[in-house]
Chains A and B, each alone.
Chain A
Amino acid sequence: MQHTKISIIFIAIICVSAQCHKPCNESNYLFETTAKFSPQFDSIQVGDTIWLTSLIPKPVLDKNSGKTIAYENANWCSTLIISDILKFKESNRGAISDFDFSAKIGNIYSAPLTDTTNVKQISYQEYVMGYELNIAIIARKAGSYILTIPDNQYLFRKNKPKCGTAELVILNENTDKHLSLFEDVWGSLSAYDKAHCYCVKVH
């Protein structure tokens, strides 16, 4: 009986703390954009640069409602994950150190308390007409690589982090993603990864 009471009290506390501080009368949003790697070569040389570009015009279209919204002062960002295809099943598959990075528009950086061997943080730059990203990725070492830009599952305005939050879907728009570099070795990627990944070989 005492156990039941404790459980009920705890559940009530968590429900109240998580849901009921203040009514949120704003729905959640679903935004979608694309990202592209160029030039779209399946192989490059050490020292060559791949450009990662993405543009989100303002106002942004909410795919849940079909309406546009000015979603400003938000964390328009994601991560860039780079894995060595031949080491994909191993603990040391992270290949961030095989590349140099430079931001022309937006930012790319390593964050504390993240896996910096495998992941870089990328953030869009906000300007009057929209949000833009333009990152140089310079190959330092030969190998075969798979690059992933996952969706941002937690996009929020910095003054309203708990209300009217959004998911930012970032689809790769390259016409040829060279996914065979991965799939010929390890088999088929998931539908999600097919839509978010790009492969390149560095000689």
Chain B
Amino acid sequence: MHTLYPCILYLLKETIYHEMSHASHYTQVGTAWYTQFVNAELAEIAAHPGANDPLNPYGPGNDANAPIIALGEAWAYHMGHFLADQRYGVNASCHIEQPGHTFCPNGTNHPHIDVLENFNPNLETDPFRWIPKGLMEDMMDNTPNETIVNDQVTGFTIGTLFNALQSDVSTVQQYRARIKSQNPVLPGGTTTTQLDNLFASYLY
């Protein structure tokens, strides 16, 4: 089965990591936050029910539901790929991001990390470009010469990222503020201007 359907298995694993990361977020923020998040996504699914509706399931990104969806999904996409990379690394099969990203291994690259690293928040035709899927990877890695986003930020850990996901943090902007308040000295020698520039690259 592993030989015949590697992509299905890898996609399933990444999906499980993604959904379990929502659960970890829930344990951190509690029922009230999570109910708001679930209601936001259910509202968008109800508004865009068609299987061929490009805005299913997250919506257009410019309505009242978008801020909490952007934050919740940014965490889940990051952790889904981060954990899949921990599991498969350079041996990952061609990774197919829903709905379309395909990254194949060449023996040295990390397909799951590449999905995050090469995410383009300014590609107009991507209806979910407003979900900052690559933001948290950019806060962890050390790639200051990246040309797609302004990434002078480095040194963050999963723990640092997770700690700022709190019950009163429902938007990406609030998340950035909580990162700053929890870390008067930002990791990796990062300055607040550099952190702001990275978030601004994702239009936050």
Interface size class of A (residues with CB under 8 A): 35 or more
User: Does any Cβ of A come within 8 Å of B125's Cβ?
Assistant: yes
Q: Are B101 and A10 in contact (CB under 8 A)?
A: no
User: Does any Cβ of B come within 8 Å of A89's Cβ?
Assistant: yes
B3 contact set on A, CB distance < 8 A = none
Q: Which residue of A lies closest to B73 (CB)?
A: A14
A113 contact set on B, CB distance < 8 A = 61-62, 124, 130, 203
Interface of A is mostly: mixed
User: Does any Cβ of A come within 8 Å of B90's Cβ?
Assistant: no
Determine how close the nearest CB of chain A comes to the CB of B21; give it in whole angstroms.
11
User: Interface size (B, Cβ < 8 Å)?
Assistant: 63
From B19, B51, B53, B102, A14 is in contact (CB under 8 Å) with B19
Give bound CA distance, A77 to B53, whole Å: 20
User: Does any Cβ of B come within 8 Å of A160's Cβ?
Assistant: yes
Contact with A along B69-99 (1 / 0, CB 8 A): 0000000000000000000000000101111
Give bound CA distance, A146 to B196, whole Å: 22
From A21, A115, A159, A162, B122 is in contact (CB under 8 Å) with A115
Determine how close the nearest CB of chain A comes to the CB of B82; give it in whole angstroms.
18
Q: Are B22 and A10 in contact (CB under 8 A)?
A: yes
Q: Which residue of B lies closest to A75 (CB)?
A: B125
From A18, A30, A77, A153, B57 is in contact (CB under 8 Å) with A18
Give bound CA distance, A4 to B196, whole Å: 36
From A11, A29, A153, B97 is in contact (CB under 8 Å) with A153
Q: A81-B148, A162-B52 are in contact. Are A119 and B102 (CB under 8 A)?
A: no
Task: Spot the interface stretch: B138-146, B155-163, B168-176.
Answer: B138-146
Q: Are A17 and B99 in contact (CB under 8 A)?
A: no
Contact with B along A1-21 (1 / 0, CB 8 A): 011001100110111011101
Q: Are B31 and A150 in contact (CB under 8 A)?
A: no
Q: Which residue of B lies closest to A150 (CB)?
A: B120
Q: Are B118 and A151 in contact (CB under 8 A)?
A: yes
Q: A17-B45, A18-B57 are in contact. Are A64 and B130 (CB under 8 A)?
A: no
Q: Are A79 and B41 in contact (CB under 8 A)?
A: no
Q: Are B148 and A11 in contact (CB under 8 A)?
A: no
A187 contact set on B, CB distance < 8 A = 145
User: Does any Cβ of B come within 8 Å of A190's Cβ?
Assistant: yes
Q: Which residue of B lies closest to A185 (CB)?
A: B145
User: Does any Cβ of B come within 8 Å of A93's Cβ?
Assistant: yes
Give bound CA distance, A66 to B144, whole Å: 36
Q: Are B102 and A28 in contact (CB under 8 A)?
A: yes
Q: List 14 A-B contacts (CB under 8 A).
A: A3-B26, A6-B26, A6-B35, A7-B22, A7-B23, A13-B45, A30-B94, A79-B124, A90-B197, A93-B150, A115-B122, A150-B123, A153-B123, A166-B102
Known: A30-B102, A162-B56. 11 other contacts (CB 8 A): A14-B19, A30-B104, A79-B122, A89-B194, A91-B197, A111-B124, A115-B121, A121-B123, A153-B97, A154-B100, A193-B147
